[in-house]
DNA sequence: CTGATTGCAAATCGTTTGCACGTGC
DNA sequence: GCACGTGCAAACGATTTGCAATCAG
């Protein structure tokens, strides 16, 4: 699913209403690839409709969760729960320094069968998360390490 | 790292103290394979030392995080943050029904290189999470579906 | 003896809930 | 018109913080 119109259709089928607030929030969710928290969505909403309440953002995101159009992302002990707005299954790279969470498009072979422990389990989804440093942060890290070495050299004189 | 004694050694090196409370909490953490929340650790602590405060449990877990002896586990929107007390890298199976999180021992080839997006990233860890139904829950689910079918048959009469 | 640790209470922060008012359909 | 939606304020639950008393090294 993609467009606001398509979601609107789903809402109608459930007897739910399409208010201007919802339209905006759904639009923002559908076009956001940054896995925003509720707070982040809320701030974007305010840019266009300054009167919308946090409650409405929470409500709408909950509806989207129920519709299955948005998914919770594994919390990385940050501000709050992040949401993933892509319907397509995909994997994640998380930068442990700047805390960015980006989608990674790689094919993961269904690896589950190789484990005997999982023999009787029903596997619905497999989600890979890579932890590391994004290009910008790995550069910064390298610079910091150089600085530290210099400091040590000075203090040991 | 494994034993309480080894952790105690690490603490001493950092100028930290080994109180009876800490000894107990660390012992519980090291022997727990269920990815407990703070609350669950706290309850276990109370069984032995009923006077320990939640604050101390929080503090000690924080220290263990700093030492790298315990890791936060991706939140699955439950009671609270869960902790992983195994030093060894491994993967997880999460039952979406009973919310159990169990370790899975399977070898995942370092799949990161296959993506060009990750070319300049430093990958520190890769963590696979499988979502599905554990044997017990998939059985329950099957039974429920049967029940529903019967109900539908009755109501459509 | 001294700085780290404990444990209490209060504060914080994300999220949920209760409810009167407003509005799509 | 009526059910659903909105937005306010209050409630909640997990976690953090401030601080005085206590204790390990």
Strand D contact with B16 (CB < 7 A): no
Residues of chain A within CATH 3.30.1490.190 domain(s) are 88-155
The pLDDT tens digits of the residues spanning A64-120 come to 999 999 998 876 767 889 999 877 888 999 998 888 889 998 887 776 666 777 788
- Of A105 and B6, more confident: B6
Q: Which of A87, A135, A126 is nearest to A108 (CA)?
A: A126
User: CB of B110 within 8 A of CB of B125?
Assistant: no
Q: Which of B95, B121, B128 sits opposite A132 (nearest CB)?
A: B121
pLDDT at position B21: 98
Q: Domain A4-73 - what CATH class?
A: mainly alpha
Chain A residues with CB-CB distance to B65 below 8 A: none
What does the pLDDT look like over A17-51, one tens digit per residue?
999 999 999 999 999 999 999 999 999 999 999 99
Task: Return the half-sphere exposure (C-beta side, CA atoms, 13 A cut-off) of residue B89.
Answer: 11
Residue B79 has pLDDT above 70, yes or no: yes
Q: Taking a C-beta distance cutoff of 8 angstroms, is the pair A63, A25 a contact?
A: no
Whether residue B104 contacts residue B93, with contact meaning beta carbons closer than 8 Å, is answered with yes
Identify which of A135, A118, A105, A98 has the alpha carbon closest to the alpha carbon of residue B111: A105
- The CA–CA distances, whole Å, from B82 to A59, A144, B39, B70, B71 equal 26, 32, 10, 10, 9
CA of residue B2 relative to chain centroid, distance? 17
Supply the DSSP symbol for A15.
T
Looking at chain A, the domain(s) classified CATH 1.10.10.10 span: 4-73
| Nearest chain B Cα distance for residue A14, angstroms | 20
CA of B5 to C1' of C2 (A): 25
Q: What distance in Å separates the CA atoms of residue B67 and residue B10, rounded to the nearest whole number?
A: 8
Q: What is the pTM of this model?
A: 0.86
**What pLDDT does residue B13 have?**
94
Tell me the fold of B88-155. Answer: Dna Ligase; domain 1 (3.30.1490)
């Amino acid at each position: 699913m993609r467009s606001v119109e398509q979601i609107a259709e789903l809402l109608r089928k459930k007897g739910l209403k399409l208010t201007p607030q919802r339209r905006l929030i759904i639009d923002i969710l559908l076009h956001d690839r940054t896995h925003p928290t509720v707070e982040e969505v809320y701030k974007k909403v305010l840019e266009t409709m300054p009167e919308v309440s946090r409650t409405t953002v929470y409500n709408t995101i909950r509806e989207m969760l129920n519709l299955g159009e948005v998914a919770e992302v594994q919390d990385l002990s940050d501000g709050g729960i992040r949401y993933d707005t892509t319907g397509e299954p995909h994997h994640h790279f998380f930068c442990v320094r700047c805390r960015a969470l980006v989608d990674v498009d790689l094919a993961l072979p269904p690896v589950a069968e190789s484990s005997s422990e999982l023999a009787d389990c029903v596997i619905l989804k497999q989600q890979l998360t890579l932890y590391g440093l994004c290009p910008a942060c790995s550069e910064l890290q390298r610079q910091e390490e150089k600085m530290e070495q210099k400091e040590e050299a000075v203090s040991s004189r």
